Structure 1
Amino acid sequence: MRNYHPDSANLAYDFSSSNVGGEDVTITSPSEGTWYLAVERWTGTGDYNIKVILTPGSSATTLTAGQKYSGSLSQGQTKLFKITAGADLKNMRTILNCGSNNFDLYAKYAAVPTTSSYDWKSTNSTGEDYTFDAPNAGDWYILVYATSGSGSYDITTYLNSSSASCATNYPVILAHGMAATDKMFGVIDYFWGVKDALINAGAPVYITQVNCMDSTENKAQQWKTQVEQILASTGKAKFNVIGHSHGSVYTRYAISNLGLGTKCASHTSIGGPHRGSAVADVLLGILGDKGSWLVGKVMDYVYAFFIGDTEPNSLDNARNLTRIYMTNTFNPNTPNVSGVYYQTYKFKIKSFTANMVLWPTKLLLDYYEGDNDGLVSVSSQVWGTDRGLITGAWWCGGVDHIKEIGHFFGFTPGFSAPNFYKDVVADLKAKGY
């Protein structure tokens, strides 16, 4: 048996072994690149087998569970990581962010993975998010391979115990509301600080993205596609959804009317306008038909060219949130699905809000509908089991529509959005979802 160095001609070799009955050769600190093995028959005829074991060297960077590692790679380069898993883990989840580049993940237990030898791999077109259930205790090696493109990346691996407070049986999907994406301008998280808090508490959490401004039906179609992808990647039969604002409405539509009812375990509504909002009524009334059309077209342009919406429809989005539409059209045609657990957590502003943009709409809703969170009345928020009213610490002014998702940028005196969502998901776990 001869082992050829990748830069050598076929007649030259780095080692040869010519014992009788079998060979066992170890090369210390082999050079990086492709190696070729040649097996030559000297005497005899028969079957044989060959096995190559790559033992990791000191070049493997140790990952700490839950902590992010950042680096950069050029196309064709790799980076090797190691993480030690404890006993009785529920799963190991690895998230790789690499912008528009195509970087892939390969992992192997107790040995270095390659693109052809691994225990699991994740090879999506851009970033990766892979969960491996019940990993063996011991050292796992994770290889980041720059398949195409060059640039920076970050990788985080979470080791989740079955006893973790938010380790639900089914994936938890967070659905954002209108006028925003899951990550505005690619940097501002809609659910500020929530995803990391849930993952660190053991939750298999995912965040979907639909058009900022569009009809309920179109958003529901976009959302359904992503839900099915999440179920396929996780291998789970059902999901839990937590929808904020319009996110609690278009998800209801997908569950009831687009075939996701049998796949949904629970639906949790946060600040959802299930009976519409007087804010939409008044704005459309002030603008009139022509004004609404013109403003809608301007917003469509803004959201298409600056935010990235695909054929947005801002006017339909607003019309779909009026009280008369939600009460007379949407709700009668979007019945609850038997077997799905529906619940609501209500919020309201008690006296004042630091988010000055909500002052006018709060006063408007005070007049038309009563207690509210600045955009949706408390009475409109309820769908399914009413889990109670949340107003924050006694000394704060309450919890408004923006505070419900941790904004502005985590500054939410008297209320912690990450802790709230952890409590919600822990409760879902306790219920068996």
Structure 2
Amino acid sequence: MQRFAKFVAGSMVTLSALSLSTQAIAAEYYNCSNPSGCVLVANVHPDNDATATQYPVVLVHGLGGFNEVFGIVNYFNGIPEALMQGGTDVYVTKTSSMQDAEYRGEQLLQQVKTITAVTGKPKVNLIGHSLGGIDIRYVAEVAPEYVASVTAVASPEQGSKMADWLLSVVSKDNPASDAPKDRFNLFGRALIAFHNAVGRLFDFGSGIDVKQLQHQDSIKAVMGLTTDYMTGYYNKKYPAAMPSEYCGQPPAEYVINGIPYYSFSGVGTVTNSFDPSDYMLALTGLTFDKDDPNDGLVSACSSRIGYVIRDDYKMNHLDSVNQIFGLVSRSEVDPVSVYRSQVNRLKNQGF
């Protein structure tokens, strides 16, 4: 009996040591600013293993995006930190703020290759917000061997009516040439110059050296988000897990080339009266038809790809990355918990 008691006690000590050893493994958070590589931002000892995926999670920003601009604002506000608490290794990437999805997708692919080389993991779980959710489709289709899963968040997979409207406002009728002065009116040319400058500023603010600032092209960025471009070109070239028509449902088979595709998005614009950005999104939301629910920049219909988790969260376009400063709807699930839930899903499915 004493031998048995000693055996049990010894086993408990061993299990306790194993548990402590497991908890001692830190989850890490890296900032990857192309072309300067990945820099460790933080590491923590996880509270649990709810989001401890087999492959690292890579977060991809949208149009006009950044990582942590000037050390003040994180694009994915509080999301990397929350995922780390569940055991996720998180990498945030940086592509040109103002460019189209193919250009940015190629930049992203190079960063994904770097991440797999650094981690020793052959694949990554890609989560992209807005235009980032279109960029990740490019990587998944041209280099599927690097991709474990794809999750698009509030992404205009079939284009944005806001982009259509903006292009119509700044374009001239019957342009005589490809020169911006002939294709766009004075307001349009000023807007193009302004947004290109903003893109360079966000590059610099994200830690990219002045001599290595990435090429910005806000004309291509906006044109690449129009419904004509997305439905007439991009979705034909990269069709995986897409619905066959606008406002249709994606095919039931959402695993393509061994890669599962997921999406989630919200509707509504003014979700928190204390958030000044909500009122801007209420204005941009007016460019959509009344029977086309949207988040101010992207419609629910356009956001669908793969397995649709939900397309009706009470979240506007910035809420879906927990911005601005977490001023989101108090009557809806916390956006951060939606990311945790999705990464938990990926973990349970072996990704």
Q: Structure 1-normalised TM-score?
A: 0.62
Give yes or no for the alignment of 1:269 onto 2:152: yes
Distance apart, 1:340 and its partner CA: 0.7
Tell me the amino acid that sits aligned with residue 262 of structure 1.
E
Match of 2:293 among 360, 371, 395: 371
Q: Measure, in 2, the Cα distance between the counterparts of 1:332 and 1:401.
A: 26
Q: Measure, in 2, the Cα distance between the counterparts of 1:228 and 1:402.
A: 29
SS in 1 for 2:25: strand
Question: Match of 1:169?
Answer: 54
Over the matched positions of the two proteins, sequence identity in percent amounts to 29
Tell me the amino acid that sits aligned with residue 375 of structure 1.
L
Q: Measure, in 1, the Cα distance between the counterparts of 2:200 and 2:270.
A: 37
Distance apart, 1:89 and its partner CA: 4.5
Evaluate the alpha carbon distance shift between residue 240 and residue 157 of structure 1 in structure 2; reply closer, same or farther with a 3 A threshold. Answer: closer
Residues 173 and 206 in structure 1, CA contact (< 8 A), matched pair in contact too: yes
Residues 153 and 264 in structure 2, CA contact (< 8 A), matched pair in contact too: yes
Which runs of 5 or more structure 2 residues have no equivalent in the other structure? 1-18, 172-182, 205-212, 241-255
* CA displacement, residues 62-114 of structure 1 (integer Å, 9 cap, x when unaligned): xxxxxxxxxxxxxxxxxxxxxxx9233483346699xxxxxxxxxxxxxxxxx
Q: Measure, in 1, the Cα distance between the counterparts of 2:264 and 2:100.
A: 24
Tell me the amino acid that sits aligned with residue 310 of structure 1.
Q
Residues 160 and 167 in structure 1, CA contact (< 8 A), matched pair in contact too: no
Distance apart, 1:263 and its partner CA: 1.7
Counting matched residue pairs gives: 288
Question: Match of 1:241?
Answer: 126
Question: Match of 1:81?
Answer: none
Tell me the amino acid that sits aligned with residue 422 of structure 1.
R
Matches within 5 A, 1:29-428: 86-89=20-23, 91-93=25-27, 128-129=39-40, 156-160=42-46, 164-257=49-142, 259=143, 261-288=144-171, 289-291=183-185, 292-304=188-200, 307-308=203-204, 309-336=213-240, 337-349=256-268, 354=273, 355-367=278-290, 370-391=292-313, 398-414=314-330, 415-428=333-346
Distance apart, 1:159 and its partner CA: 2.8
Residues 320 and 326 in structure 1, CA contact (< 8 A), matched pair in contact too: yes
Distance apart, 1:358 and its partner CA: 0.4
Distance apart, 1:268 and its partner CA: 0.6
Which runs of 5 or more structure 1 residues have no equivalent in the other structure? 1-84, 98-124, 130-154, 392-397
Distance apart, 1:390 and its partner CA: 4.0
Question: Match of 2:7?
Answer: none
Distance apart, 1:412 and its partner CA: 1.4
Q: Measure, in 2, the Cα distance between the counterparts of 1:206 and 1:306.
A: 18
Distance apart, 1:304 and its partner CA: 2.3
Question: Match of 1:136?
Answer: none
Q: Measure, in 2, the Cα distance between the counterparts of 1:379 and 1:156.
A: 37
Residues 176 and 190 in structure 1, CA contact (< 8 A), matched pair in contact too: yes
Tell me the amino acid that sits aligned with residue 21 of structure 2.
A
Q: Measure, in 1, the Cα distance between the counterparts of 2:294 and 2:60.
A: 21
Tell me the amino acid that sits aligned with residue 44 of structure 2.
Y
Evaluate the alpha carbon distance shift between residue 209 and residue 305 of structure 1 in structure 2; reply closer, same or farther with a 3 A threshold. Answer: closer
Tell me the amino acid that sits aligned with residue 311 of structure 2.
L
Greater share of residues in strand: 1
Q: Structure 2-normalised TM-score?
A: 0.75
Higher-RCO chain (CA-CA 8 Å, sequence separation at least 6): 2
SS in 1 for 2:294: coil
Evaluate the alpha carbon distance shift between residue 241 and residue 383 of structure 1 in structure 2; reply closer, same or farther with a 3 A threshold. Answer: same
**Larger Rg belongs to:** 1
Question: Match of 2:244?
Answer: none
Distance apart, 1:191 and its partner CA: 0.6
Tell me the amino acid that sits aligned with residue 294 of structure 2.
N
SS in 1 for 2:94: coil
Residues 69 and 202 in structure 2, CA contact (< 8 A), matched pair in contact too: no
Greater share of residues in helix: 2
Q: Measure, in 2, the Cα distance between the counterparts of 1:170 and 1:224.
A: 16
Q: Measure, in 1, the Cα distance between the counterparts of 2:121 and 2:184.
A: 48
Distance apart, 1:290 and its partner CA: 1.4
SS in 1 for 2:149: strand
What is the aligned-residue RMSD (CA, Å)?
2.6
